[in-house]
């Protein structure tokens, strides 16, 4: 093989790998949304079902932060038993950050974008998603591109 062909092959392989979030830099978020079934919450990369303690405690503030160029990021746990989720998010990017509140249907499918908010470039927003159904599981999606930090808290 010629050097030119090897170079093209190498560049093609490099470009085929998706540019996703760097796990070490992300706190309280995951590239994979939390998944539920009738026994509770399970993580897709887990072989066993965690206890119900995998749901956020509604009396705690939780830190979330991360950056991703192409992958959406999600809170690592679900909120359950809440009627309001309060958030304070700082967008460190020069692009607007889209934040979606998502829920699960009774069949376990994801309902993306139950409520949506856009945090302006290099801005900070503190507010809440309110009038929620306390019997549903909720989580937050941070749409790529993203570079953010903040806190989330579920309140009854």
**φ, ψ at 24 (rounded to 5°):** -65, -25
Tell me the two tokens of residue 123.
Answer: 């801005």
Given this model, what pLDDT does residue 113 score?
82
CB atoms inside a 10 Å sphere around CB 95 = 13
First CA to last CA across the chain, in angstroms?
66
Domains, the chain, ordered by start? 19-155 (2.60.120)
Higher-confidence residue: 36 or 34? 34
Structure tokens at 88: 């304070």
Average pLDDT over residues 92-119: 89
* Whether residue 19 has pLDDT greater than 50: no
Is the pTM for the entire model greater than 0.85? no
pLDDT for position 149: 94
Task: Assign 47 a pLDDT band (cuts: 50, 70, 90).
Answer: very low
Q: What is the pLDDT of residue 131?
A: 95
- pLDDT given at position 72: 85
Q: For 111-155, how does the pLDDT look when each residue is reduced to its tens digit (9 = 90+)?
A: 888 899 999 999 999 999 999 999 988 888 899 899 999 999 998
- Reported as a pLDDT band with limits 50, 70 and 90, residue 87 is very high
d(CA 60, CA 55): 11
């Amino acid at each position: 093989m010629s050097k030119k062909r090897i170079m093209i092959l190498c560049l093609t392989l490099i470009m085929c790998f998706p540019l996703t979030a760097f796990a070490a830099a992300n706190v309280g978020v995951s590239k994979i949304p939390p998944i539920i079934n009738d026994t509770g919450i399970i993580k897709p990369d887990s072989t066993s079902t965690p206890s119900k303690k995998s749901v956020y405690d509604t009396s705690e503030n939780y830190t979330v932060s991360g950056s991703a160029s192409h992958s959406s990021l999600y809170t690592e746990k679900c909120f359950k038993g809440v009627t309001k989720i309060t958030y304070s998010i700082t967008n460190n990017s020069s692009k607007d950050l889209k934040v979606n509140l998502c829920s699960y249907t009774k069949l376990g499918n994801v309902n993306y974008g139950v409520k949506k908010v856009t945090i302006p470039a290099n801005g900070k927003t503190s507010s809440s998603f309110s009038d929620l159904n306390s019997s549903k599981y909720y989580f937050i999606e941070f749409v790529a591109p993203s570079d953010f930090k903040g806190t989330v808290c579920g309140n009854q």
